[in-house]
Amino acid sequence: MNTAILIPVLLVLTPLIPAVASALLSGHAGWRNGVNIGFAALKLALVTYALAGVAAGAEYEWRIAFVPGLDLVLRLDALALLFVTLSAVLWVATTLYAIAYLKGTPHQARFFAFFNLCVVAASGIAMSGSLITFFVFYEILTLATWPLVVHTGSAKAMAAGRTYLAYTLAGSAALLAGIVWLESGSGPVEFADGADLSGFSTLSASVIFVLLIGGLGAKTALIPLHPWLPAAMAAPAPVSALLHAVAVVKAGAFGVVRVIYDVYGIETVAALGLGIPLAALASATIIYGSLQALRQSDIKKRLAYSTVSQVSYIVLGASLAGPFAVIGGLVHLVHQGLMKITLFFGAGVLAERAGITGIAQMDGIGRRMPITMAAFSVAALGMIGVPPVAGFVSKWYLALGGYQSGASWVVGVLIASSLLNAAYFLPMLYRAWLKPSADTLPSREALASTRTWLLILPGAFTAMAALGAGLFAGFELSPLGWATLIVERIYLP
Amino acid sequence: MNLLFALVALPLLFMLASLVAGRHGPRLIWLAAPLMTGLAVWLAMAVHTAPEGGALGGWPVPLGIMLEADGLAAALMLASAITAAITGLFALGSYGTTRAETTRSYTFWPLFYGLWAAVNAVLVSRDLFNLYVAIELLSICAVALAAFGSRKAAMDYLMIALAGSLAYLLGVVLIFAAVGTLDLSLIAERAPEARTSVLIGAALISAGLIAKTALFPLHGWLPPAHGAAPPAVSALLSALVVKASFVILLRVWFEALPGLTQPAIITGFGVLGAAAILYGSALALRQEGLKALIAYSTVAQLGYLFLVFPLAGGGEAITPWAAGAWGAMGFHASAHMLAKAGLFLAAGLMIHASGNGRMDGLTGLARAMPVTTFAFALCAVSLMGLPPSGGFMAKYLMLISSLASGQWPYALVIIAGGLMAAAYLFRPLARMFAGTETPAITPLPHNWLPLAPLALAIAAMALGLLSAAPYELMVSGLPEAGEAGLEEVEP
């Protein structure tokens, strides 16, 4: 037997072991942290091995049977690996950050158990080879995230948890309805083969598409299904990072990509006339999210609405269906993750160390917390699309893709969005670096006493990664290079 | 054959032994639990290759008594053995040897084993009168156990159970008068000759069994009886007892009268099932008591079982996905057994610990009782029909069969039922996570007690993750009515 087929299983198991270990090691913080970091590093090593293999053309697959005809399939192709790599890299950063962030707070065992379970689910979603497998891991993600959202147990967190469940479970119901309808006519759907739609009328096929995308749209936070995301910022900062960058919204966006390319196929989506309406919805979400972000005075809320806007870039790229647009969408899956996690790491540090939660309190904080704010600024500039940070690359390819697909209005959307991004990010940077320090800021001495490198360095690292992903976009193993590889394999099989 | 006989007779022996053994009686569960579970596993593996069965004492039908286990019987026997074994071990905490001797600790164990024997007898009997004896033994044990909680609820239960038995018996007499036999397969051969009287008999039997299964609208007795009983008893009542009368109903319509099932009857069962799902869930949403909520959830979950009638069809109404629907019903029955028993046991521990059976008593328990809460949550996931649980496989198969057979209203009901289940089960879960304080709790009688619901929850999850073998078992040796659909499932 070729041991390489075990790679998908190992990638799912590496976070599962620390999930169980964290639950059992509730009284041993040191051991727990060690196990968490160790397995995160181990997964990174596995991912590196798989990257080399998949780049050389290998595909790893592992399956077991559910009921007859229905298989649990884990399949590691280039697209899966894009998401796996993202979650593996950010998992290391978030684990380190969370260890520092939660130090001394109660119920860390529970936190790390469910946190790792989320990573299990994200890996499973990435590597799902069939619709049913995707749905299983998608739901595990829904359920495993809830205890994290309500982690603090405050009334606000409980309300956020309720909103989160209401949207995501309703979305799951729609998704399940779509999957079952589809599979009742076409048989079990595997991503490698796509669905056989010959038994469906145009109308049924379109309605199923709407059910699938609507169900996925709840996690992707497409309007009008987005309100849970800003509400969920009541959760601790590492959880926000997880929701916004590593797992939850990404799972939805990734699912949209899978449905368009590996279930329906781009030709079918175009033939059914479904691509452009979805692109329009994504564009509306982009603009609406930015407008809402502009209205927020709370840092985390502004970032949350910014996610609503930015994640829709991925959907936009996927629905435009030209090679450049797809590259732009896929690469944004990674780029947005790197930039947004940096921003949330930064927001968490501001709140923890300086008690800053509102934008108005940020005056002069840049000079007091230079590393954190430098990272924050790099990420913010990237979000606006300033070269050479990664966000520029995404927007450039999306705009090219818009032209290529004959939807040049996309360029207008991108420009409007970039202006709006600038309008809500630049004032924060201006306050942080150029305004005189407010009296409410803690003194340098006070800050020096609370300095925790584990809290600061993960953000610096992800900011560097976002910068690097833009600077070295031309390299083969950059996110852009990898996205290009995926798209070449889609269009030139 | 001897295996089937052992599975029915051994619990009866344990029943006698527990009476004789006096205050050592409770310890018998340490022997009974592994022994019975092992035999059930053996049976499942044997049935996997060929249906197990034969006539007792070597006398052929109609003189002898037939015992026979098809795939469904073997699967449910295994699920109920696991449930009963774990619940029995759990009950040691309440009715075990460490407590002072009470009437209850004496009476619990004989009733427990009697109930177990009766469930197994129902599963393997192929004769209307045998089934009657088994279901009577079951009802008596169940009512007596329910009286551990509320005597009034138990009285109501007794009345319903007796009325149900009478209706059943009357139906049996009518059928016997019409066709001259009580054996299910012989009835199937002879029924077409005396259509009308057999149908009237079957209607009476069905009415009696519906009352015992607590199908809407005859469900009123269930929530008080199940909700008021001690946790181990609630678990047995909700997990095992109501399933047994449902299995008889299946045997009557799918095995004895496959030619007589008409669209009106099939639709009737389907509509009642759908109404039970919606009505039971709506009432569960409004409960303030934790156990009452779980009991109303049973009313709703039982409704899903009855969807097998329209989804599998029967006789001429056979659907292309009949085998899938049959498997879905088997999965649902097994997953509900495990998960509902787990839920009741977990709830019992929480109520013991917090001293408050109402929703607000749960505040913060996730911090004080993490293992119990986790078990509760896993069981809840299975009941909601979310992956990766056995409940999910059941709902998925049901949805596929309803859409593949063009009966989409049932699909809508199933999806709505899942969402409502999520809504009513997340209410207690949210209470457990709410707040920032860790509440002080009454210590549990034994620290390992939370492992019982956890084991049941893990079994419910495993049923979903490793669903291939259980599915094959459940659809192997399908009654003729379902066999035609088996080809369609294989792609």
Give the phi and the psi of residue B68 in degrees, each rounded to 5: -150, 135
Q: What is the pLDDT along chain B (491 residues), one digit of tens a residue?
A: 588 888 888 999 999 998 888 778 888 889 999 999 999 999 888 887 766 666 665 566 555 677 888 888 999 999 999 999 999 999 987 776 655 556 677 788 899 999 999 999 999 988 888 899 999 999 999 999 999 888 888 999 999 999 999 999 999 999 999 888 888 888 888 888 888 888 899 999 999 999 999 898 888 888 888 888 889 999 999 999 999 999 999 888 888 887 777 788 888 999 999 999 999 999 999 999 899 999 999 999 999 999 988 888 765 556 667 788 888 899 999 999 999 999 999 999 999 888 888 888 888 888 888 899 999 999 999 999 888 899 999 999 899 888 888 888 999 999 999 999 999 999 999 989 888 778 888 888 888 889 999 999 999 999 988 888 888 888 876 654 444 443 444 33
Looking at A274-369, list the stretches that DSSP marks H as alpha helix, in order from N- to C-terminal side: 275-295, 299-320, 323-349, 365-368
For the ranges A21-35, A100-114, A144-158, A167-181, the one whose mean pLDDT is highest: A167-181
Interchain contact, B426 vs A165, CB within 8 Å: yes
Angle made by CA atoms B94, B95, B100, in degrees to the nearest 5: 100
Closest by CA to B82, choosing from B39, B138, B115, is B39
Query: Is B386 near chain A, with CB under 8 Å?
Result: yes
Q: Which tokens go with B174?
A: 């009518």
The sign of the dihedral angle between the CA atoms of A30, A36, A41, A45 is: positive
Per-residue HEC secondary structure of B322-382 comes to: HHHHHHHHHHHHHHHHHHHHHHHHHHHHHHHHHCCCEHHHHCCHHHHCHHHHHHHHHHHHH
CA distances from A152 to A114, A455, A490, B101, B422 (A): 14, 19, 44, 45, 22
Q: Chain B, 268-327: which have a CB under 8 Å from a chain A CB?
A: 324, 327
- Nearest-10 crossing angle of helices A248-258, A202-220: 160
Structure confidence at residue A357 (pLDDT)? 85
Query: Is B364 near chain A, with CB under 8 Å?
Result: yes
CB A315 within 8 A of CB A253: yes
Confidence class for position A2, pLDDT limits 50, 70, 90 = low
Q: Which tokens go with B451?
A: 């492992």
Structure confidence at residue A37 (pLDDT)? 86
Q: What is the DSSP letter of B442?
A: P
Taking the C-alpha atoms of residue A440 and residue A442, their distance in angstroms, rounded to an integer, is 6
Q: Which long-range contacts (CB under 8 A, 24 or more apart) does B53-62 make?
A: B53/B1, B53/B4, B53/B124, B53/B126, B54/B1, B54/B4, B56/B5, B61/B127, B61/B183, B61/B185, B61/B186, B62/B181, B62/B182, B62/B183, B62/B186
A chain contacts of residue B398, beta-carbon cutoff 8 Å: none
Structure confidence at residue B63 (pLDDT)? 59
Largest interatomic CA distance in chain B = 71
Interface test with B, best of A135, A137, A162, A180 (most B CBs within 10 A): A180
The sign of the dihedral angle between the CA atoms of B475, B479, B480, B482 is: negative
Structure confidence at residue B304 (pLDDT)? 94
| Gyration radius of chain A's alpha carbons | 21
Interchain contact, A158 vs B491, CB within 8 Å: no
Nearest CA in chain B to A166: B423
Q: A278: number of CA atoms within 13 Å, CB side?
A: 32
Interface test with A, best of B332, B386, B402 (most A CBs within 10 A): B386
Please give the single-letter amino acid code of residue B225.
A
Give me the residue label for tokens 């069905």.
B206
Taking the C-alpha atoms of residue A340 and residue A242, their distance in angstroms, rounded to an integer, is 10
Q: CA end-to-end span of chain A, whole Å?
A: 27
Please give the single-letter amino acid code of residue A108.
Q
A chain contacts of residue B399, beta-carbon cutoff 8 Å: 176-177, 180, 184
A chain contacts of residue B451, beta-carbon cutoff 8 Å: none
DSSP letters for A438-454: PTTSPPHHHHHHT--HH
Nearest CA in chain A to B464: A66
Give me the residue label for tokens 């039971």.
B280
Which among A23, A158, A185 has CB closest to B434?
A: A158
Greater confidence, A1 or B424? Answer: B424
Structure confidence at residue B203 (pLDDT)? 92
Which among A26, A135, A152 has CB closest to B387?
A: A135
Report the run of H or E that residue B2 belongs to, with start and end. Answer: helix B2-20
Q: Chain B, 323-352: which have a CB under 8 Å from a chain A CB?
A: 324, 327
Taking the C-alpha atoms of residue B244 and residue B262, their distance in angstroms, rounded to an integer, is 24
Q: What is the pLDDT of residues A390-436, one digit of tens each?
A: 888 888 888 888 888 888 888 889 899 999 999 999 988 888 888 88
Closest by CA to A301, choosing from A358, A372, A345, A374, is A358
Nearest CA in chain A to B386: A139
Interchain contact, B386 vs A172, CB within 8 Å: yes
Q: Give the count of beta carbons closer than 10 Å to the beta carbon of residue A155.
A: 12
Q: Chain B, 30-49: which have a CB under 8 Å from a chain A CB?
A: none
Q: What is the pLDDT of residues A339-377, one digit of tens each?
A: 999 999 999 888 888 888 888 888 888 888 888 889 999
Closest by CA to B134, choosing from B197, B64, B63, B209, is B209
Domain ranges for chain A:
284-492
What is the ipTM score, two decimals?
Answer: 0.88
What pTM does this model have? 0.90
Interchain contact, A161 vs B433, CB within 8 Å: yes
| Chain A residues interacting with chain B (CB cutoff of 8 angstroms) | 23, 26, 64-69, 72, 106-107, 109-110, 132, 135-136, 139-140, 142-143, 147, 150, 152-155, 158, 161-162, 165, 169-170, 172-173, 176-177, 180-181, 183-185, 187-188
